[in-house]
Amino acid sequence: MANFVFTVAMGRSAELYNRVKTADPSAAELVVILLAASGIEADATLRDVATCAALVAGATNEATNTGYAKKVLAAGALAALDPDEANDRTDLDLPDQTWTALAADGTGAVAKLVVAYDPVGSQTMSDMIPMTAHDFAVTPDGSDVTAQIANFFRAQ
């Protein structure tokens, strides 16, 4: 397992991030989703899905633990797109996300964190485009779980 950019978002992630930041469309948002460890499919299989609905259509499942909910990031939560001209790249960062009292019930252990683009602000899996996936191995025990999502995407 490793971190990767979904094929559907290659070359698009910086623009999708910027669309949320500039509210174009106005309801656009980024959504952070946790995937359960049990049944998770290989990265090679996951990276080729085009929607979050397809992401969880096979053996892979979204977490269902008590204390878990998708995290929604609208324009105000994001920094302005700021290309790093000195290093010829653009790094995208997200604020840390905390799930309070994430319980061991539901789907149990977590394997991955996915950042997705939601153009309509519905958080409906079929509307969302998966952008990046990050290894995030956590065994919930009822304590708070925080994801530090620094430089979740780099365009070079």
Domain coverage including residue 79: 4-155
The residue among 2, 146, 128, 8 whose CA lies nearest residue 62 is: 128
- Provide the domain count of the chain: 1
Q: Find the helix or strand (DSSP H, E) in which 112 lies.
A: strand 110-118
Whether pTM > 0.85 for this model: the answer is: yes
Higher pLDDT, 138 or 2: 138
Name the band, by pLDDT with cuts 50, 70 and 90, for residue 150. Answer: confident
Give the model confidence (pLDDT) of 24-72 as tens digits. Answer: 999 999 999 999 999 999 999 999 999 999 999 999 999 999 999 999 9
What is the spatial distance between Cα 72 and Cα 3, in angstroms, rounded to a whole number?
Answer: 21
The predicted structure's pLDDT at residue 151: 84
Query: Tell me: the pLDDT tens digits for 66-115?
Result: 999 999 999 999 999 989 999 999 999 999 999 999 999 999 999 999 99
CA distances (Å), 127 to each of 43, 57, 99, in order? Answer: 21, 14, 23
Calpha distance 109→91 (Å, rounded):
29
